[in-house]
Structure 1
Amino acid sequence: MTSVPTSAVRPRSRRRAWLIAAVGVVAALVAVIIIIALVWPRAAAAPGPGIRVLASGTSSAAEAAAAGGGADGLRAAEYLAEQPTAVWLVPESDPLGQVAQRIDELATEARSQSARLAVVVYGLPDRDCGNHSGGGLDAAGYEEWTAEIGDALRAAADVAPIVVLEPDSLALASECVDVGERAALLSTAVDALVGPSTWLYLDGGHSNWHPAAEMAGLIEQVGDLDRVRGFALNVSNYNLTGDEVAYAHTLAAELGGERHALIDTGRNGADAGGEWCNPPGALIGEPGGTIGDDVVDTNLWIKPPGESDGLCNGGPAAGRWWPDGATSLTREVDAD
């Protein structure tokens, strides 16, 4: 038998071994990439038309529906409990040390509904200048509280949180506090809350409050606006959607054309004549996720319909469930 020289075999063996090793490395890299893609937090799409946010079973409406009551009030509560609506985080009910658990529970609810989580952070010192929703934290406590919220929201990146930061905080600031100090606190809160899948909106007031140029000046005091998506309009108010869309475009232009808007349409289904505190003729507005353009990301229900604005027009204290108000807001729904 003729022997084959060893030198004639080794190069081919080496090439085969190299190819096998290379394939193994590529396969391992592909596996790692797949694992990272599955578990690594990814930036979610911006809010837009068609979005659905959580309708929490812990809302005031849900609690009122579970409690029962008169037929009209119960129908209103049951209807409103089913509507996707932002959840308000306030230190009185979601204090430091507990708010992270609250967010974790809300995120679990959102996953069960294949929805995104929308929250309102509302705990700024002297938050509404001692009006109907007085209170809030001191500066040090606020920094700790918002830091805990930010950590919890980043841990819930898969539900792409939408955050409305301190409604009325800037639009109202010149009436009661040093605007620069408040803007600095809000800037610190922004730093605490930002995340790769968190969409953050500052207070933008509304179309019947500050001229757009003036409101833009207030927003700009918060500092680097590249940290936020934009501003929220009409929160807890009743202005018609068309007016707010027009104002959003003007305000965005004043801010350089880079920022976007959310509009609260929870209670603006009728012209309230400029009245902001429990106006008698108010109606629920368009469901969330029904509008959007190049400036307005979309609309959401931000202030929960059925909760009072304060001790006015027969309402209870601000934030309390008001059966008569809920019934009135949904009267056309009930008629259908």
Structure 2
Amino acid sequence: MLFSLPRWSVLALPAVAALLVSAGCGRPEAAPEPEPTTGASAEQARPSAPVPLAGATLFVDPNGAAAEQVATWQSAGRTDDADRIRRISEQPAAVWITSDTSQVTAAVDAVLSRATDAGQMPVLVAYHIPGRDCGSFSGGGALDGDDYRAWIRGFAAGVDGRPVTVIVEPDAVAHSLDKCDGSSDRLALLAEAVTVLKQTGTAQVYLDAGHPRWVRDVSRLSTALRGAGIEQADGFALNVSNFIRTSENVDYGRQLSDALGGRTRFVVDTSRNGAGPAGGATVDGGPAWCNPPGRRLGAAPTTSTGLDRVDALLWIKRPGESDGACRPGEPAAGQWWSEYALQLAGD
């Protein structure tokens, strides 16, 4: 498929300390520490409605893979390289939730607990749809529809009245238009996921909508998004794990929003689009969308974009994590890859 990206990052209970990841350039101002609350007062302190993403301070994890790499290289005397990776570690980035059904509630809770303690807004990616990535480099996901329904309810249980932004199932809607197996059931599952997440009362929900060079017919895509519950969501997400420049995404996003009635808002993943996409279908014997050389970090995450209908520029893909083992010696999808992180960070 054109420019469709694999993406995932396994979160499991034995690795809960690694649940969070930071990435970006331009460190957000730290939010004040929340007052400690207990018992009934803690329940009263929780919001009764979603905290809007626009204007929120995004969660920066001090213990992500990039931060660990900085500490390792600093101790080893590789101070220049450590400084370059700080361009990633000091930025807010999404956390991908891919734990199985028995662990998903704890995985979500662990992230939200840290973010709440920091007074910041976490961005999570729900990534467990059956037939995920159509069986490509990031294949996997729930066993079937019933397993996914249980999983998304477990995800929602982990929210537990705390503010969160959720990007729902990267590639899933666009893949449904590629005739991925089970695509008719997929839209119904996505619509149910949106409903369940919105019923938490505190989640901002954005359905993934691919990118400008995948489904070029926005009328066709808007129909699929309606089937996937976009009218109940807060908007859609573009360019997740991709490299297409922000301006192209914003133009496309407005066209798609117009096709949906002109009021639907969206977010753009700018994590790795600083140099734009690689040319051609393949690079060095691998797909051009998979770990292409010469790419750079994109614009810093912000929830104050000044752009019509754009709620945020986010780092949804965590810079430095592999897209997949697309060439000999490349790590599996979701694994930290320090050499590629250095490329993205630039000189």
Q: 2:295 aligns with which of 266, 282, 303?
A: 282
Q: Note closer, same or farther for the CA distance 1:177–1:70 as it changes in structure 2 (3 Å cut).
A: farther
Rg comparison, structure with higher value: 1
* Alignment match, 1:197: 202
Give, in angstroms, the shift of residue 187 of structure 1: 1.6
Which gives a bigger RCO, structure 1 or 2 (Cα 8 Å, sep 6+)?
2
1:161 aligns with 2:164: yes
Aligned equivalents of 2:323, 2:246: Cα separation in 1 = 20
* Alignment match, 1:85: 93
* Alignment match, 1:250: 255
* Alignment match, 1:230: 235
* Alignment match, 1:142: 148
Give, in angstroms, the shift of residue 220 of structure 1: 1.6
Q: Note closer, same or farther for the CA distance 1:271–1:79 as it changes in structure 2 (3 Å cut).
A: closer
- Equivalent position SS for 2:271: coil
* Alignment match, 2:343: 328
Equivalences, count: 290
- Equivalent position SS for 1:105: helix
Q: Note closer, same or farther for the CA distance 1:256–1:317 as it changes in structure 2 (3 Å cut).
A: same
Give, in angstroms, the shift of residue 74 of structure 1: 3.9
Superposition pairs of residues 254-269 of structure 1, within 5 angstroms: 254-269=259-274
Give, in angstroms, the shift of residue 107 of structure 1: 1.8
Q: Counterpart amino acid of 1:284?
A: L
Structure 2 length-normalised TM: 0.77
1:205 and 1:234 in contact (8 A); partners too: yes
Structure 1 length-normalised TM: 0.80
Q: CA RMSD in A?
A: 2.3
1:308 and 1:317 in contact (8 A); partners too: yes
1:87 and 1:118 in contact (8 A); partners too: yes
Q: Note closer, same or farther for the CA distance 1:73–1:192 as it changes in structure 2 (3 Å cut).
A: farther
Identical residues among aligned pairs (%) = 36
Q: Where does structure 1 lack aligned partners over 5 or more consecutive residues?
A: 1-34
* Alignment match, 2:47: 41
Superposition pairs of residues 56-71 of structure 1, within 5 angstroms: 56-68=61-73, 71=78
1:118 and 1:161 in contact (8 A); partners too: yes
2:175 and 2:183 in contact (8 A); partners too: no
2:173 and 2:228 in contact (8 A); partners too: no
Aligned equivalents of 1:284, 1:114: Cα separation in 2 = 26
- Equivalent position SS for 2:106: helix
* Alignment match, 1:216: 222
